[in-house]
Structure 1
Amino acid sequence: MKITIWPAGILAIIFFISTSCKQNAPHEDAAEPAFVAHPVAVPKQDVMTLEIGKAAPDFRLPDVNGKFVSLSDFDEAKVLVIIFHCNHCPTAQAYEDRMIDFTNEYKEKGVDLVAIMPNSAMGLLPEECGYTDLNDSFEEMKIRYEYKKYNFPYLYDGDNQSIAIAYGPVATPHAFVFDKERKLQYSGRIDGVEKPGGANAEDLRAAVDALLAGKPVETPVNKVFGCTTKWAWKSEYGKKVEEKWNAQPSTISRLDEDGIMALVKNPTEKLRLINIWATWCAPCVMEYPELVALQRWYGHRNFEFVSLSADNPEHQDRALAFLEKTHSPVQNFIYAGTDKYKLIEAVDPKWDGALPYTLLVEPGGKVVYSSQGPVDLLELKRAIVEHPLMGRYY
């Protein structure tokens, strides 16, 4: 049998060509990296609202699925409506259904609507989330999009706010209406009545109808009422609010069975969230920071958070140390007795005794939400904000 011996130089060339082909071959299965939000510091600057007649600033922003959407994607639209919108704002939430209804009606007329979330996580405080179950993060935009079944793109501009700076929304919601040439023809409110059911996007409809009819918009500029845009450079104010919260002391008091029953009876005019926990309960200590944070979200409204430790009373110092470490400047109690079965009956006869146990109680003692084991935080927030004592709107 004849064996061919290749010179080393030729072998090296063959190896190089083979390797290069593999490296340069298209990877059919390679997917574009998933978008990951990364809010950054933005220098303080004066932001001016786009003037009537100006061209729409170009954009390339991710939607809730991480797919990038550009201004050119709407080239076929006769009229383009851009509304700066967000999750947390009660006014923005009040207009969600009107935006959905508008899209349903005007899509077939050649009108596209796109919502852009302009807020930076650095500029939004927990205390500003009292009317919502969600913050304005990219991740929670997805939740709102699915929960409300938006029929329009919802784009994220929370990283560097470059598009919000270019358009200059005064508040959320703020509508910008562009003609076929993408020149701004209307800027302002959607309509003049915030409360759902009181209006039907009359100002927005009038502007769009005029453009579709080839007529000038009768009132091209209207004022906007809503929540201020949360610019990243407002983080200094957030630090002051954080310092004020952290300066409040965490204390703990003992409570017997009668006191516990009175606590659950809730003689106040507020929703009362009660969490029974213990320092030795791992799920308790893991979820506790998220629960006490709800006091910051909703505490300025008809809501209060109260904690009740199931530790033995001789371990009160241990419980207090945890509360101080976690920072819990709310009403904190520890069961004064040692008979845990009396504790169970005093709290809720329906409770099987497993920790943690959380219940949301109306004035008068009616339990409207309870969870044995760690709570579903989103479910709990919705139970709070959608209760008649609270609500998503003013």
Structure 2
Amino acid sequence: MRRNKSIILLSAGHACVDVYQGAVASLVPFFVAERAYSYAAASGIVLAASLLSSVAQPLFGVLTDRRPVPWLLPVSTLLGGTGIALSGLWDSYALTLGLMALSGVGVAAYHPESARVARLAAQGRHTAMGWFSLGGTLGFAAAPLLVAAVVATGGLRLTPLLVIPAVVGSALCLPALRALHGPKGGGCDAPSAVAHDDPRSFVRLSLAVVCRSITFIGLSTFVAFHVMERTGGGTAAGSAALFVLYAGGAVGSVVGGVLAERRDRVTVVRRSYLLTVVAVAGVVLVPGPVVYVFVALASAGLYVPFSLQVTLGQDYLPTRVGTAGGITLGLTVSVGGLATPVIGAVADASSLQTALAPLAVLPALGWLLVRGLREPSGVVAGPDGEVTARRHSEGLAGRGETRGPEG
């Protein structure tokens, strides 16, 4: 019960943090409308939030691997919220970029440590990690609604109200950390691992994560404008598309954990990437309201492998779970922002449809990268130090068995 409570609290805290990742793209249409930014300038806002986050994420992962830093969870949550909350108060483009970068650093600091702590609380269960990832997905899904409710009513001057989730999220971290530090909570020390790292598989997985990230961030930044063009609707039509993109991920996060308990994770990840290829092509090419169906399918395809990539990365690098979690969980989102200026520049020079078309190719590349991966095998120490045996998924699937990390 203590572990389940911790997962629930960590999931809720994850939601509060990832509101601010979703808020960046959600604020872009309002910056364009109120400050007359071009597509390229608007994508620079996403870049600012992503650039420092992408650089800082592995550094925080290394710090987490060297020593537990649970205090980072509440502090980084507040930092992420503060940058977003202050971003609408000044017209200075440079200051806005700086505040977005501040928020990105907060998000970067949160994810490696939270992935390590969630792994402890999950005790190797895919479904538990799926619930933790679901929290972040729900935060993303809530971001456009929250931003619209606050900013659409009074303009960018009301962005300070967006700090509320950060305050709530930082408060939720504290009882979760106390539960894990309790007499029977197992502590927050990193799990020991007796298996060897598999850096080659981890690099291939990470490159697939980058493909997924660029696709997702590209869609989340520009899908609102694209759907407005394809349907002839206004900002409400665009916000609805962004909500569908984020909310569909809520289903995908949970389904991914369930499927991984029945099948091996690598197979689920591969098939998700294939679904994403078809779905993104539909988003780009299909006109009219049917585009919402493809947005939902793209969301599911992008999110089913979300938590599975985190646990796979940690199992490929069992001696550096903080670094692995920081890259697969944090960079899954932040690194995609580095490509948004290119998409924005192409959209300004030609059309938004032309700029988004290459996003259908990236999931295919991701599929090629994960195609040769195998389920991690060997002997690994679980979150509580218990040594568990691993076997390749092919042998298990052949007998109809399901084996998670605890098996």
Fold similarity call, TM over 0.5: no
| Larger RCO (alpha carbons 8 Å, 6+ apart) | 2
Say which one has the larger Rg.
Answer: 1
Q: Which has the higher strand share?
A: 1
TM bin (shorter chain): under 0.3
TM-score, normalising length: structure 2: 0.22
TM-score, normalising length: structure 1: 0.22
